[in-house]
Amino acid sequence: AMEELVNETTKGGRKRITFYYINMSTLKIITWNVRGLQSERLRKKKVLFLQKLDYDILCLQELRLKTNEDIGELNKLWGPSHSVISIGEDSADGVGFFFKNTHVNIIKKRDIIPGQLLLVDCHYDGQKFRLINVYTAPERTKKMQLLKKMRHLLECGFNTVLCGDFNMVTEENDRIASTTFKESREGKLLTQICKDASLRDLYRILNPQTTLYKKVLQLKKLTTSDIQLWEILKERMRNFFKFKCREINYAKNMKYNEQVNQYIYLKNKKN
């Protein structure tokens, strides 16, 4: 099973589903771009929320931690359960695996690209897994370097879970734009890597028509009807973003999804 919990919008105007979980038989794996755990306030708030979720393994991206002291503070909050964290040099770097309990045997852990590409081989709940957590930088050159390194990590003879924030679009229905879709060089490479490794995109299988990333239309001015709708949506967005994370469930998310899309579209026209 898979459930969306939180939608976020990047500075570039793309709509990103940042939180969903995969239930493989009895194993529940959550992947989420947390957008920073560097401040004490955010760390406490988000860790408290995460610890209440129903999961076995958390795969988090964009931790934004900078020092071993930061990692230590996060682990204190997390408690006795196992965690494997990788931090990097760029401001948005940081990926990690967090296990619900201590019944896990870590066989191997490799910090392939600090803060961006982390591998863990482990035994958990009677199964052997290779877990790969990815956060790609915006620069194309760095993305290509990461993907080439990642390709070799998929060559193993047991269960492999690849998750993370790739910051790229690989399918037509991953975006909305006025221009014709053209897959980038790095997008093509990611698609080919997944095909060669016989990986299945579980989110796309379960949500074949859902747009994962939205690139909004950049129009120059608003019409009269746009202005009226803009004022209505502004008030609705204020109400929407008052929800605390724990209160946003699937039904509420679906209810407001279209309004969020309209709001983003009009905001970009207005700007």
Record the pTM.
Answer: 0.69
Whether residue 27 is predicted with pLDDT greater than 50 in this model: the reply is yes
Give the pLDDT confidence of 208-267 residue by residue, as tens digits. 666 554 222 223 333 444 455 555 555 555 554 444 333 444 444 554 555 555 655 555
Q: Name the residue among 36, 31, 41, 38 with its Cα closest to residue 4.
A: 31
The whole-number pLDDT of residue 252 equals 47
Q: How far apart are CA 179 and CA 78, in angstroms?
A: 45
Task: Determine the angle formed by the axes of helices 185-196 and 140-153, rounding to 10 degrees.
Answer: 10
The whole-number pLDDT of residue 197 equals 85
Give the pLDDT confidence of 180-217 residue by residue, as tens digits. 778 889 989 998 998 888 887 776 666 666 655 422 22
Give the pLDDT confidence of 40-72 residue by residue, as tens digits. 888 999 998 888 888 888 999 999 999 999 999
Q: What percent of the chain has pLDDT over 90?
A: 30
Q: How far apart are CA 158 and CA 167, in angstroms?
A: 27
Whether residue 16 is predicted with pLDDT greater than 50 in this model: the reply is no
Q: Which residue ranges make up the annotated binding site? A: 33, 62, 165, 167
Torsion of CA 174, 97, 99, 250, to 10 degrees: -20
The whole-number pLDDT of residue 116 equals 97
The residue count of the chain comes to 271
The whole-number pLDDT of residue 135 equals 95
Q: Which residue ranges make up the annotated binding site for Mg(2+)? A: 33, 62, 165, 167
Task: Determine the angle formed by the axes of helices 40-51 and 68-78, rounding to 10 degrees.
Answer: 40
Burial 73-101 (b: 16+ CB within 10 A, else e): bbbeebeeebebbbbbeeebbbbbbbbbe
Phi and psi torsions of 122, nearest 5°? -155, 160
Q: Choose between 248 and 94: higher pLDDT.
A: 94
Give the pLDDT confidence of 109-134 residue by residue, as tens digits. 999 999 999 999 999 878 888 999 99
Q: Choose between 125 and 92: higher pLDDT.
A: 92
Which tokens sit at 64?
């934004």
Question: Residue 151 — very low, low, confident or very high, per pLDDT cuts 50/70/90?
Answer: very high
The whole-number pLDDT of residue 234 equals 56
Amino acid at residue number 225: S
Question: Residue 108 — very low, low, confident or very high, per pLDDT cuts 50/70/90?
Answer: very high
- Domain 7-215 class? alpha beta
How many other C-beta atoms lie within 10 A of the C-beta of residue 185? 12
The whole-number pLDDT of residue 3 equals 40
Q: How far apart are CA 261 and CA 250, in angstroms?
A: 16
